[in-house]
Amino acid sequence: MPLSFSLAAQDREYLSGLARLSVESVFAGHREARPTEPAESGQEAAPLRRLLGSFVTYTSGGSLRGCIGTIVGREPLYENVWRMARASAFEDPRFPPLTQQEWKRVETHISVLDELTLCPDPEAVEVGKHGLVLQYQGRSGVFLPQVPVEQGWDRLAYLEHLCAKAGLPAGSWRAPGARLFWYEALVFPAE
């Protein structure tokens, strides 16, 4: 299941710049600022206008400092990255808002998510390749593909931690009625 999109180097640079500008405009007092649309140049702008989900992740000294995103894109990718960069910096309920001083030291990664599909077989899940979403009994949990690698989990640990993240008992991913979705993502540092 290869990615259904690609991002050229200039697309990644554009999204990286948008993420930076989104946060810096808040520090400059321009909270109402909006992203600039990508320039039209044939097919080159097409992936930036697709309805794709994205996550923006901030780390400081190797520790998570903010991470918010959308699994399903409901707006063009460039607008989604703009919103997620701000939300991750200032609205992640696990952390206080980023300060301008911290901003100079955080590392930023952007994850662009392909469309979700039902996972045909949990045995086919590849750690580091597939992101997962579990839905069961009105609860859900999600992990980006890089999370189990960062945590050193194997496939089974990945699935069990997904249950825990959703607030479900261990093994819920096997339960009748549980829905396991998978997706791939393109992850890159925002420089």
Percent of all residues in the chain with a pLDDT value above 90, rounded to a whole number: 85
Q: Which two tokens stand for residue 30?
A: 């321009």
- The CATH classification of domain 117-184, taken from the options 3.30.1330.10, 2.60.200.20, 3.50.30.60, 3.30.1490.150: 3.30.1490.150
Average of pLDDT values for 68-97? 95
Is residue 18's pLDDT more than 90?
yes
Q: How far is CA 161 from CA 57, 113, 141, 164, 176, in A?
A: 20, 20, 9, 5, 19
Of 34 and 103, more confident? 103
Please give the pLDDT value at position 47.
87
What tokens appear for 177 in the block? Answer: 């009625």
Query: Which tens digits make up the pLDDT trace of 154-178?
Result: 999 999 999 999 999 999 999 999 9
Buried b or exposed e, range 138-149, using 16+ CB within 10 angstroms: eebbbbbbbbbe
* CATH architecture of structural domain 9-114: 2-Layer Sandwich (3.30)
pLDDT of 2 > 80? The answer is no
Q: Name the token pair of 106.
A: 């955080």
Q: What is the mean pLDDT of residues 65-85?
A: 95
CA pair distance 18, 50, nearest whole angstrom: 16
- Return the domain boundaries, the chain: 9-114, 117-184
Q: How far apart, in Å, are the Cα atoms of 159 and each of 111, 143, 183?
A: 20, 10, 14
Q: Is 75 in a helix, a strand, or coil?
A: coil
Pairwise CA distance, residues 156 & 13, whole Å: 36
Query: What are the start-end ranges of the H helices in the chain?
Result: 9-27, 46-49, 77-90, 100-103, 146-151, 155-165
Q: Does the fold of domain 117-184 match that of domain 9-114?
A: no
